[in-house]
Amino acid sequence: MRRSIRSGSASNRRQRGVAVVVALLVVALATTIVSTLYLRENVTLRGVENRLALSQTRWVERAALDWARVILRADAASTGGLDHLGEPWAVPVEQTRLDETVTAGARLDDASRPATLSGRIVDAQSMFNLTALVQAEQPSAPALPTLRRLLLTLGQPEVLADAMLARVLAGQPRTIEGRILPGASLPLLRLEDLRDVPGITATTIEALRPFVTVLPVPTPVNINTAPPEVLAAVIPELDLAGARRFVARRERTAFRSLDEAASALDGQPALPAGQLSVGSSYFLVRGVIRFDRVEAATEALLARNGQKIELLWQQRY
């Protein structure tokens, strides 16, 4: 009888032990399932939040471009073709916090990063335009030496000017027997398109970026906005030190004509015909938008023709 009681007691203990183990396994399995579901739900929620933030960022981009259009349109109406760095469009927008009105009603709580916008409008004609290297399907006589001088000033190999000219020519349409045929290569749209040119590296492009651009048509350099390096390259008789002195004088006044500008240059050199202007038609809009976990940098090229402002391209980084 005692053996039977002891045997039953041991069996009960084993059964209780098995039940405890099974219960623990069930709890562990349930915990794993719930955790997985929670993780999936959290990832899905974060994905929805990121898409919402990206959508709001794109909305702010459009609003910023509309603002740039309004500024440039108003400038065209008030200055009559004169563009200089003392105008409202040239004032950079420092990092500015956006409220719910600007973010299309999206709620900005304290738990998220503040929505901010910073950026500026840059006169694209303050830089040397690579498209000016070609005139009427032929190399431009004054533009190529200008580019060579600019490269030397920037510490870049002078021979790169010929490589850039060849790249611009390859992208130009050709007229053969009265028929217009596409170029051998895609046309240049942005400075980054020079990456396929032998000898030009990402470092070279970054060195050129403040001074060289690509516009749809040949354009003169705006003497009211160009940096000293570009002015010294465009005006052969002007050295870099003289160009810097001119820029210092330019900060006090804008020149309404090329004759006025020439009188402020050291030695009053003759300005090259067709290479300079006092106004601009192309502007770059650059900005950085931060909204919650999304940060987006954008650059757009605007063309101004009177009161008409056209978006030519936009690139996001």
| 118, 136: one domain | no
| 191, 263: one domain | no
| 268, 296: one domain | no
| 268, 224: one domain | yes
In a domain, 43, yes or no: no
* Cα–Cα distance measured from residue 256 to residue 222, given in angstroms and rounded to the nearest whole number: 11
Mean pLDDT of 223-232: 98
End-to-end CA distance of the chain: 86
State the CATH number of the domain containing residue 119: 3.30.1300.30
In a domain, 35, yes or no: no
In the numeric block, which tokens belong to residue 220?
């003169």
Of residues 8 and 80, more confidence is placed in 80
Whether residue 190 is predicted with pLDDT greater than 60 in this model: the reply is: yes
In a domain, 1, yes or no: no
Of 26-40, 63-77, 131-145, give the lowest mean pLDDT range: 26-40
Mean pLDDT of 65-89: 91
Contacting residues for 94 by C-beta, under 8 A, at least 6 apart: 118
In a domain, 39, yes or no: no
| 205, 226: one domain | no
Coil, strand, or helix at residue 220?
A: coil
Which range of 167-181, 262-276, 284-298 scores highest in mean pLDDT? It is 262-276
| 116, 165: one domain | no
Give the per-residue pLDDT at 18.
72
| 261, 286: one domain | no
| 226, 286: one domain | no
* Cα–Cα distance measured from residue 61 to residue 66, given in angstroms and rounded to the nearest whole number: 9
Domain termination site, one of 209, 236, 255: 209
Coil, strand, or helix at residue 298?
A: strand
Cβ atoms of residues 291 and 115 within 8 Å = yes
Give the per-residue pLDDT at 111.
52
Cβ atoms of residues 255 and 224 within 8 Å = yes
Of residues 290 and 161, more confidence is placed in 161
Cβ atoms of residues 131 and 168 within 8 Å = yes
In a domain, 135, yes or no: yes
* Cα–Cα distance measured from residue 168 to residue 161, given in angstroms and rounded to the nearest whole number: 11
User: What confidence category does residue 160 fall into, taking pLDDT thresholds of 50, 70 and 90?
Assistant: very high
In a domain, 297, yes or no: yes
In a domain, 24, yes or no: no
The range of the structural domain enclosing residue 142 comes to: 129-209
| 121, 144: one domain | no
| 100, 113: one domain | yes
Whether residue 87 is predicted with pLDDT greater than 60 in this model: the reply is: yes
In a domain, 10, yes or no: no
Domain termination site, one of 159, 188, 209: 209
Number of domains in the chain: 3
